[in-house]
Amino acid sequence: MSDPKRRLDVEVIPVTPLRQNCSLVWNGETRRALVIDPGGDEDVILERVAAHDLTVEAILLTHGHLDHAGGAQALRDALTKRQGAPVPVIGPDKRDEFLLSSIEENAARFGLSGMISVAPDRYTQDGDVLPLLGRTYEVLHVPGHTPGHVVFFEPQDRVLFAGDTLFRGTIGRTDFPYGDGPTLVQGVRTKILPLGDDVLVLPGHGAPTTVRAERAENPFLQ
Ligand SMILES: [Zn+2]
């Protein structure tokens, strides 16, 4: 019997030399899955998809940085071939298009290979609700690390896929030409903290945390 209250499963797969946390999320009843932020190492991600016997419904991107999005195009191609039907890439806010379309150039600058640009099937914006895996994923625009950065909140399981906005004890870097520190802090305060203390935060790098812990201890939020 299908139990709609059953929590979704999540496996965090560190990808790329930058050890970015790609999340594989799936419904154990239907074996349907999402991949969030496949920055690279798509062979490793595919191996985990196969190991859990999953069908990927969509690929989600929190923002346009190469360590989050550089493997999306290759993964889309491989999954589409494996599953026999197109797998959509759901992008961040369109303001990150300039990053998604220049991944090769940026990767070359860092001496990274195998990362390629990607054109999402659709962009998202603040307030969008994505029906995926029999749940709803709420899109919140939290710019500052990049102009088009979004986070994905799943209210039933109380999980936030935070990308590079909020980390355990810190926030995303904003020292890029397009970065904006005060805007990021403001976004975390007004969009993420109100989601509730019990929310599990899965960041793009490092260990998981909770809204409660960051509200209490994160030096950027005091
Ligand atoms: Zn980033």
In the reported structure, the alpha carbon of residue 31 is separated from the centroid of ligand 1 by a whole-number distance in angstroms of 29
Protein residues placing their CB within 5 Å of the ion ligand 1: 65, 164
Over residues 196-208, the pLDDT tens digits come to 999 999 999 999 9
Q: For 47-59, what is the mean pLDDT?
A: 98
CB-facing half-sphere around the CA of 131: CA atoms within 13 A = 1
In the reported structure, the alpha carbon of residue 206 is separated from the centroid of ligand 1 by a whole-number distance in angstroms of 13
φ, ψ of residue 177 in degrees (nearest 5): -55, -30
Say yes or no to pLDDT of 32 above 60.
yes
Please give the single-letter amino acid code of residue 144.
G
In the reported structure, the alpha carbon of residue 8 is separated from the centroid of ligand 1 by a whole-number distance in angstroms of 25
Q: For 43-51, what is the mean pLDDT?
A: 98
% the chain with pLDDT above 70: 98
Q: In terms of pLDDT, which residue wins out, 102 or 5?
A: 102
Say yes or no to pLDDT of 157 above 70.
yes
> In what helix (H) or strand (E) does residue 105 lie, and over which residues does it extend?
helix 103-109
Nearest one of 16, 81, 65, 17 to 45, comparing CA atoms: 16
- Band of the pLDDT at 1, cuts 50, 70, 90? very low
In the reported structure, the alpha carbon of residue 63 is separated from the centroid of ligand 1 by a whole-number distance in angstroms of 7
Q: What is the pLDDT of residue 3?
A: 61
Q: Give the C-alpha distances (Å, rounded to integers) separating 45 from 50, 79, 133, 167, 169.
A: 9, 10, 18, 23, 28
- Band of the pLDDT at 160, cuts 50, 70, 90? very high
If you write DSSP's letter for every residue of 40-100 in order, what string do you get?
S-HHHHHHHHHHTT-EEEEEE-SS--HHHHTTHHHHHHHHHHHHTS---EE-S-GGGHHHH
* CB atoms near residue 135 (< 10 Å): 17
Q: For 60-89, what is the mean pLDDT?
A: 98
In the reported structure, the alpha carbon of residue 19 is separated from the centroid of ligand 1 by a whole-number distance in angstroms of 12
The gap from C-alpha 154 to its chain's centroid, in whole angstroms, comes to 12
Q: For 179-183, what is the mean pLDDT?
A: 98
- Residue 115 burial (C-beta neighbours within 10 Å; 0-12, 13-18, 19+): buried
Domains of the chain (ranges; CATH) run 9-221 (3.60.15.10)
Say yes or no to pLDDT of 181 above 80.
yes
Over residues 118-153, the pLDDT tens digits come to 999 999 999 999 999 999 999 999 999 999 999 999
Q: For 109-121, what is the mean pLDDT?
A: 93
